[in-house]
Amino acid sequence: MEPSPFISLHGGHSGEFCCHAKDRLEEIIQAYIKRGFKRVGITEHIPPVNDRFLYPDESKQGLTAQDLYQKFTLYMKEVNRLKQVYKSYICIHVGMETETYTGYIPHVEQLIHDFTPDYIVGSVHHVDDIGFDYSKEEYEKALCHCGSHEAMYLRYFDLQHEMITTLRPFVVGHFDLIRIYDDGYEKRLFSPKIHKRILRNLHLIKKMGLVMDYNLRPLARGEKQPYLSQSLLKTIKALGIPVVPGDDSHGKDQAGGHVARAIRTLEKMGFDTHWPEPKLYR
């Protein structure tokens, strides 16, 4: 049997275009080539809709939403250039990772219109406009605002449902990211109210024919489970939803990290490793 080809459809954040990543995008592409990738998706974060949604390290540097839009323009130019330059070595799918803060729908539609990416990754990093995955402190802030872990998870999965319905992303990013700083997540994902929302979203993903990100960033941080906890992966397999690895790399050392292991897990569970071709739904 042919070995399944390496792939990552979520990652390639670079220090060149993202303040919390490292290295130049070209070095990251070269790292993928060196590690045997023939196909990769590069999905830089979209610029914020306004200054209110700058990441802490962006505000610290005195950047504005306008600056980040300019930077994103350069990202799109560069990733398309690299796509051509390296096309005989690797197929680069040009993507971007979206958000769910106030105003995200027209904002993302405008970005799709301006840059026509090959596909988008639909992610939720905010609940009620509070970013929760940047640090434990930010997570606590969002938790305090929601009142309980349960309320926070419910809000997250409702926002995710709205985002999937409106943006129809080719890839749904780190589906269970909401558990990032919650030690009790294993039980929480199966508490009745939350699990009902999870199943609702999974059925929507199945119905819309979308792909799920098997997000390996937690492994790079030394954690045990990718996003798509093992317990959810079983349900997803039973539903027949395609799952594709995403290294969520933020530097050349992380490019392709843990992908071989992720593919072995997916193969063992009987997932199809004929990876789907990214496309843009309009």
Residues making contact with Zn ion (CB under 5 A): 13, 123
Smallest separation, CB 89 to Zn ion (Å)? 25
Q: How far apart are CA 276 and CA 258, in angstroms?
A: 20
Cβ atoms of 146 and 139 within 8 Å: the answer is no
Shortest separation between residue 185's beta carbon and Zn ion, angstroms: 17
When the beta carbons of 13 and 188 are compared against Zn ion, the nearer one is 13
Give the CB-nearest residue to Zn ion: 123
| Closer residue to Zn ion (CB): 11 or 242 | 11
Which residues make Cβ contacts (< 8 Å) with residue 107, sequence separation at least 6? 46, 49, 99
Nearer to Zn ion, 125 or 155 (CB): 125
**For residues 4 and 173, which CB has a smaller minimum distance to Zn ion in the complex?**
173
* Min separation Cβ 264 and Zn ion, Å: 24
Strands 130-131 and 171-172 turn out to be unpaired
User: Cβ closer to Zn ion: 123 or 201?
Assistant: 123
Strands 119-122, 171-172: pairing kind: parallel
> Closer to Zn ion at the Cβ: 13 or 155?
13
> Nearest 5°: CA angle at 25, between 24 and 29?
125
- DSSP annotation of 179 reads G
State in angstroms the smallest separation of the CB of 84 from Zn ion: 25
User: Crossing angle for the helix pair 25-34 and 65-85, nearest 10 degrees?
Assistant: 40
3-state class (DSSP) for residue 244: strand
Count how many residues are written for the chain: 282
CB of 238 to Zn ion, least distance (A): 26
Closest distance to Zn ion from the beta carbon of 270 (Å): 27
Residue 225 identity (one-letter amino acid): Q
Buried b (16+ CB within 10 A) or exposed e, 242-255: bbbbbbbbbbbebb
